Amino acid sequence: MQGDRTLPAAEPTPSATLADLMAAGALTCSAAEAARFLHLSKPTVIAAARRGELPGRQVGRQWRFSCQALVQMFHDAHAHSGGGLNA
């Protein structure tokens, strides 16, 4: 029996946040998930990754982003802009 030998990918729910992905143990997220987290379009996120502005890598035809690096980068930028807890 031939059939499809690949397992279906576990797709996160569209409303999953980056925190949800990290809590579930995800180390990376897709360009679409990163775009939702950053409130940017997917092409903008990919262009920023190509320029080295975001922690992303192209794997085949997909872009993958480090969840932890995105959160840390967002936290650092938010703290430096005066939006931190001590402001």
Structural domain boundaries of the chain? 18-83
CATH architecture of 18-83: Orthogonal Bundle (1.10)
Rounded to two decimals, what is the model's pTM?
A: 0.65
Compute CA distances 57 → 6, 13, 44, 79, 80, whole Å: 23, 23, 15, 26, 26
pLDDT digits (tens, 9 = 90+) for 33-84: 999 988 999 999 999 999 999 999 999 999 999 988 888 887 777 777 765 4
13: amino acid identity, one letter: T
Task: Kindly tell me if the per-residue pLDDT of 1 is higher than 60.
Answer: no
Q: CA-CA distance, 81 to 87, in Å (whole number)?
A: 9
